[in-house]
Structure 1
Amino acid sequence: MNDLREVSGLTNYKLARRGMMMTGLMSGLTLATTRVEAQVIHTDTTGIDAGEVKIPTADGELPGYFAKPQGAGPFPIVLVNEEIFGVHDYIKDTCRRFAKLGYAAIAPEVYARLGDLSKMTDVGQIFSQIVSKAPDATLMSDLDAAVKYAAAHGGDPNRLGVTGFCRGGRNTWLYAAHNPALKAAVAWYGPVVGTPTAIQPKTPMDIAGELKCPLLGLYGGKDTGIKVDDVQAAAAKARASDGIVEIVVYPDAPHGFHADYRPSYRAEDAADGWKRLQAWFRKYGVA
């Protein structure tokens, strides 16, 4: 197997565990995020280089996963925002899928400072101990660092896209308002509203009028935790500020319909969304 570890290393962390009362949880998320044993799609490494890496950040290093076509490049960069379960096999496979399409895809483990998500399965615990304690300012800085890493290892920063799933979809909205170098963004069922806190002061709804690039949102009509009306309101706010936003709603899809390792997976809708993502990136200059 082609592997980047011999070049870039793999970071090991002493991870802190902290507790607090939960400040918020998307209703209906538990069923959608139930893990199952089998993953439907398995992408090999033929023709690509892929593996775990360490990403230099403002305060040290973060673990991550990086996949790109073999060769010098430069290749267009796709920043992949993880769900709330960390950079596990599904996220790694998604990076390899991008690499097979000609992209340099990088997925930073942005919650590594706070805990080991690979050992946590309870949604409430993950939100209360990890997600709610992750400052958005640090998140944006870490995502910038991941882009910088990809650019230094065969990626083209002038052809930059971002995507993400669930909480990563929410973070995709935020990053689309943060980085003016982005060409396009695709958010998969990312929540757009929530309760602001001191360290997470703005929701996607709050920043919708500040998007720096065209954004495609892919949502499930049967997602019990995300109201389609809220998503459409965020899109309308973006358009009122001359933003380009397209929202696609799959009527029968639940939350997590792209996650092929969970019962929420809907193969037809996931495949259609993946095709739309590729078309969106081509249309707006990532590919």
Structure 2
Amino acid sequence: MGARELPGYLAVPEGEGPWPGVVIVFEAMGANDDMRAQADRFAAHGYLAVLPDLYDGAPWVRCVTKAMRDMRAQRGPTFDHIEAARAWLAGRDDCTGGVGVCGFCMGGGFALVAAAKYDFEAAAANYGILPRRPEESLRGACPIVGSYGAADPSLRGAAGRLERALTAAGVTHDVKEYPGTGHGFLTDLTPPPPFGPIAKIVMGFGKGRENAPDGWSRILAFFGEHLAKNLQRKGAGPVSPTRASRAIPSSRMTRRISHFAPFVGHRIAPSRVSPETPAEHQASHIRIHRSVTGSNTGETTSCASSFCSPRPPPASPRPRP
């Protein structure tokens, strides 16, 4: 058995659980402070939120091309990592077992596919790329809430296509396109130089951030409705919109999960924390260890090697009632 490690950031609500969970799938620039803030946002509203670092700490420019390739193929190690995070979160004693997924930009594309591919209860796709043949790819998906900007040239018409595909597939949904709004309007991310000016032209980046409150209100209301049915699974109480996020001791994060897939097992252990990591974030870092049978026995892989590992057969969309 070889071990594969996946770092992540865990945000835990204040008070006693269990709580419904959310897997945050980051935008192209990785697990940065802006994406950690979104995990904290969900925790403040009563969700146990994990942000897996799909790049394993490597610079985003080294990994984004391969991740995008996985997204378009609708299979590959990036999807394996998302499912590992979901299964780990659902298996925690402080999680109800009901887990949603929320993705931004590139992560929004992953969230759409994961909504049909894995056992999520709700999905938020924020300015996410649509999968090929969306009517087929999204058949059997969990309920989806989507937010797009009409002033985002890179995704022109995506909201309408998603609305039609979800309607055709019979998927419960709430899709909204905001006029005069560009890419990335739901968070405070500022693309680093030299990408900032390019992003403004190609994506309308920075436009329409005044629509963020409405977008978040829709997402939280949608998740509250479609994850609420699982709140009593482990004796949880109602989600409180006033709960604040907090860090938890690393010792409380160590846990073993029974299975990931027929060919993969995984476990959790505390992560290594960079000296530059803010003190309030340090206690919330985790590492997801995934044990994989195969030719690379005994190896602990990083982003580059895990992305080049053999791929499993594509999973069939899960059946839904």
- Give the TM-score, by structure 2 length: 0.60
- 1:151 CA drift (Å): 3.1
The 3-state SS of whatever aligns with 2:153 is coil
Q: Are the structure 2 counterparts of residues 69 and 111 from structure 1 closer, same or farther at C-alpha, using a change threshold of 3 Å?
A: same
- Are residues 233 and 130 of structure 1, via their aligned partners in 2, closer, same or farther at CA, if it must alter by over 3 Å? closer
How far is the alpha carbon of 1:130 from its aligned partner?
A: 5.5
Cα distance in 1 for partners of 2:39, 2:136 equals 27
Q: Percent identity?
A: 29
The answer to whether the 8 Å contact 1:77/1:104 transfers is yes
| Residue of structure 2 equivalent to 1:183 | 121
Match of 2:55 among 93, 111, 117: 111
Contact 2:20 2:227 (8 Å CA) reproduced: no
Determine which structure has more spread, i.e. the larger CA radius of gyration: 2
2:167 maps to which of 226, 236, 239: 239
Q: In 1, are the aligned partners of 2:148 and 2:178 still within 8 Å (CA)? A: yes
CA distance in 1, matches of 2:97, 2:174: 23
1:159 positional shift: 2.1
| Counterpart-to-counterpart distance in 1, 2:79 and 2:101 | 12
Deviation at 1:204, TM superposition (A): 6.9
State the distance in 1 between where 2:30 and 2:106 align. Answer: 11
Q: Report the secondary structure of 2:11's partner residue.
A: strand
Deviation, structure 1 residue 142: 1.1
User: 1:217 maps to which residue?
Assistant: 146
Aligned length: 213
| 2:28 pairs with 1:84 | yes
Aligned equivalents of 1:172, 1:85: Cα separation in 2: 16
Q: Which stretch shows the higher mean deviation, 212-221 or 125-134?
A: 125-134
* Aligned counterpart in structure 2 of residue 100 of structure 1, from 34, 44, 66: 44
In the alignment, is the contact (CA less than 8 A) between 1:220 and 1:249 conserved in 2? yes
Q: Which moved more, 1:250-259 or 1:166-175?
A: 250-259
Quick check: 1:209–1:239 contact (8 Å CA) kept in 2?
A: no
The correspondence of residues 131-150 of structure 1 with structure 2, limited to 5 A, is 131-132=68-69, 136-150=75-89
Q: CA offsets, 1:177-207, max 9 Å, x none?
A: 111x3221111000115xxxxxxxxx37264
Are 1:254 and 2:169 counterparts? no
Letter in 1 for 2:18: P
Matched ranges for 1:22-171 at <5 A: 59-112=3-56, 115-117=58-60, 120=61, 127-128=64-65, 131-132=68-69, 136-156=75-95, 158-171=97-110
Q: Which residue is 2:250 aligned to?
A: none
Question: In the aligned structure 2, how far is the partner of 1:256 from the partner of 1:187?
Answer: 12
Partners in 1 of 2:49 and 2:2 — Cα distance? 21
Q: By how many angstroms is 1:72 displaced?
A: 4.6
Alpha carbons of 1:171 and 1:133: their partners in 2 closer, same or farther (altered >3 Å)? closer
Taking a change above 3 Å as real, the CA distance of residues 214 and 133 of structure 1, as seen in their structure-2 partners, is closer
Q: 1:264 aligns with which of 201, 206, 214?
A: 206
Specify the SS of the correspondent of 2:171. Answer: coil
The answer on whether the counterparts of 1:75 and 1:104 sit within 8 Å (CA) in structure 2 is: yes
Provide the C-alpha distance between the structure 1 equivalents of 2:2 and 2:212, rounded to a whole number of angstroms.
Answer: 35
Separation in 2 of the partners of 1:109 and 1:265? 27
Structure 1 residue runs of 5 or longer lacking an equivalent are 1-56, 194-202
Amino acid at match of 1:176: A
CA contact (8 A) 1:63 1:108 kept: yes
Partner Cα separation in structure 1 for residue 143 and residue 67 of structure 2: 30
Which segments of 5 or more consecutive residues in structure 2 lack a partner in the other structure?
Answer: 191-204, 229-238, 240-321
